[in-house]
Structures are given as C-alpha cells and as structure tokens.
Structure 1
Amino acid sequence: MDKKEALFNYTLRLGDHALILSHRLCEWCSWGPFLEEDIALSNIALDFLGQANFLLEYAAELEGKGRTADDLAYRRDERQFFNPKIVELPNKDFGFTIARQFILDAFHVPFYEALTGSADQRLAAVASKAIKEVRYHLRHSSMWVKRLGDGTEESHQRIQKAFDDLWMYTGELFEENETDTILQQEGIAPDMKAIKNRWDKTMGEVLSEATLKRPEDGWMQTGRLEGIHTEHLGYILAEMQFLQRAYPDAQW
C-alpha cells in the first residue's frame, strides 16, 4: 500500500463515520423531547453531514477514478463502508442517543484537535472547521449525561444501561491497521493511543460527576476496518440510497 492509497482509505473511513452518524441523528428531527433539543440534534446532524461531504469529496479526488462524493455515499454496499458499528446502531431512546453521542464527542474532540496538525493540508483544514463544532457537541452531550445521570431514578437507570450496552462498541474507535501506520509515519494521522488517553480522562470525569459507573472493559466489537457491520447498516443504506439506486444520476 502506498501513501496515496492509505490516505484515500483513511479519508473514506472518516467520511463514512460522519455520514452514518449524521443519518442516525437526523432521525430525531421532529421527535426530540422538546423543540429546542429537537433543533439542537438536527443541527448537530447537519454538522456531521457537512464533515462527511468535505471528506468524501477529498476521498473521491484521491481515488482518481472519476467518482464523486455522491457516488461514494450512494453507490457502495455495506462491506464497502468503514464506519465503526456504534454510529449505525438504532437510536432507541433519548438516553441511549445521548450516551452514544457523548462517547463519540469525547473521541472527536481530541481526534480533531490532533488532526489540525496533520501534514496533509486538506485534512488539517477539515479538522480546523470540525473542531469548533465538536467542542460544542461535547458540551451539549456532557450536560445531558449529567442531567440524566444525576436526575430521577428512572433517568439514571436508563442512561446507565445505555452506557453498559454501548461499551463493547467503543474499542473500534481506536483500532488501527496498515493505513494508520503509513500515515502516522508521514505525520498525517494522529497516534490513537494518545487519543484514547484523552478519551479515558473525559469519560471518567463526566461519568463520575453524573453519578454513573464506567463499564468495565471486556470483549469488544471489531471488524469495521474490514467492512464488517451490524445488520442495521443495511437498513440505513436501503433508505439513504433509495433515490440514487432507483433513478441513477437523477438531478434536481
């Protein structure tokens, strides 16, 4: 694998992560617990959609096969997506969505902070824009984790169960392969061990303040770097890709 192929794989992976998470959060539109939170979740979803667009556009350029960002989003099958499984899980309830979002926000902040120093100018530019957004996302999800964790007995139990159920999906966020090794040597990709240390610290501090128990590390889901997913991604793609599959090259 050469540097260009590694950069394509890496950028595609980041774009898939943002795209599928955006789709899940968009499902809250008109279903939020109250209007202000409905708007907040929708805006966060749009932030990730914007990140996905920038990343998939860059991935298409790197690939050099004439494909566009839309082609990458709408004309790939499940095994050709490389997002972590946690972003494709159904929303379930508000507490589950908040727990997942906090887990991801605590990852996004140190990751994009590190990526702003990337030797690749395009990735650094995307990260410089994204970091402003994900810092707000982390403040938002942290606030809700504390409110639900230190709220009523029911809210505490439900968000604790959400963290317990989600924990086995967190390991995939920090998985690395040959792509990461090549790009780290070039100063393009950050060291995931350092990101994990920051993530651990944030998780510990906020969960403690929320009177929640951090789940113990045990067996972790794996396989996203090989395109292995839950059954839920297929349903997402069936909905998201319907128009382009039914009417290829359709234009507004």
Structure 2
Amino acid sequence: MAIFSHDRHHWAYVWIPIAGAFLWFATILAMLITWLASGRPHYVSMDSDQHIAFISDVGADILKPLFITACSITGVAFILSLIIERYLRHSGRLMPNMRKRERVFSTLAILGSVIGGAGLILLSVFDTKRHPKMHDGFLLMFIVGVALSAIFTIAEFRWISKDFKYVRLLKKSYWMKAIVAGLLILLAIAFGVTEFTRVNVGAVLEWTIAFGFTLYVLTFWYDLRQSKGVHKGELSAERMGNSGRYQMRRAV
C-alpha cells in the first residue's frame, strides 16, 4: 500500500498544468465559436477595416468574466508548474541542478513566468475597449514574460542534459519545449509586426498563438510526471554525482 500511494501522490500537482491548459484551450475555443456563431460581429474595439476579431475584442464584450477567469487560472497554473518543477529538482525527485548556473536559469524562468502570468491576468482585466493602451502594455508584458521563461527553462534543461548521459526523457522535454516555444516566439514576432499594419493577419496569428500556448503549458505535465515512483532524495545532486547509471559528464 505504501508503494501504491507513493507511485500516485505526484498526481495532485501533475494535474495543475493539465487543468490550466484544458481551461485555456476550452475558453479560447468557446470565444472563437461565440464570435463565429453570432455572425462575426464588429465590436466597438475593432478597427474600421478589421474583419477578424482579436481575442481581446471578444474578451472585452459579454464573455469578459469567462476571459478573466480563464486568464487568472491559466496564469497561476503556469507559474505553479515552474515552481513545482524547481521544488522537485531541489528535493531529488527530478534530475537535479548540479551547478549554480542551472539554479540561476531556473530562478529566472520562474521570474519570467510571474511576469508573463501577471501580464495575462492584467490584460484580461484592463480590456482593449476601455483601456486600450494599458491592455497593449500588459499583452507585451505577457508575451515577453513567457518568452523569457521559455528561454531560461530550455537553457536550464539543456545544461542538465549536458551533465548526464543517457537521460532520454529529459532530452525529449528539452526538444519539445524548444520546438513549441521557438515556433510561438516566431509567431509572436510576426504578430507584433502585423498587429497594426495588417490587422486581420495579426488577428489570425493571435488566435494561433493562443491555441499554441496550450501545448507549451502541457509540456510541464510531461516534466512533472517523471517524478512518479521516485522517492525524495533519490535523484539528489550528491547521489547522482556518484551514480554509474547516469554517468555524469566531466565538468567544464
């Protein structure tokens, strides 16, 4: 019974990124369907030559309570996922940070998630119809925060994978994050260029980025579930440094 419970007590926190990603995806999909099903209305916050609504245009209307709720829960889930991942590495239930630089990257990734999560919540509260300039500022805050968090997380994982040979799951996580985050960053740059120059293209890119963000949040589910069946301290830095199974690489 003790082993059975230990194998499954990770489920409480592994559901955090799943819940955040599911609620985010469901909300964005509901907002898109609402706009399409209602005849593609032209909201007050839309430009005169704009034919495709931004997410913020829909979120500033009747669905604002839903939008605020989803942004708040998703933002908190995103932050908690990184904090829990950091705790599991520190407590020896995930591959550890062997050097100071990995711990610095992890801390910076958490800080980036806090900036991005706060931006996500605030952009939903200060909507584009009533506070357009503040909304744009918080949207930029969200994009930059998430991008920085992704870059530092990928850097941390990359250095850990350099420390240990044959860590297949960690390398998969690194590549998943790198591919998803890289595509989202490129799309975000394109969105920044087209938001004011080719507004309808910018709107399409924003919906695409929003749905893509779901995949990035889900990568943390893949990370956290790797602690299943691992006892506290089992993957501590001291034990891993002397482990022949993982064969730590020579420090550089």
Fold match, TM over 0.5?
no
Identify which of structures 1 and 2 has the higher relative contact order when contacts are C-alpha pairs closer than 8 Å and 6+ apart.
2
Higher Cα Rg, which structure: 2
**TM-score, normalised via structure 2 length:** 0.35
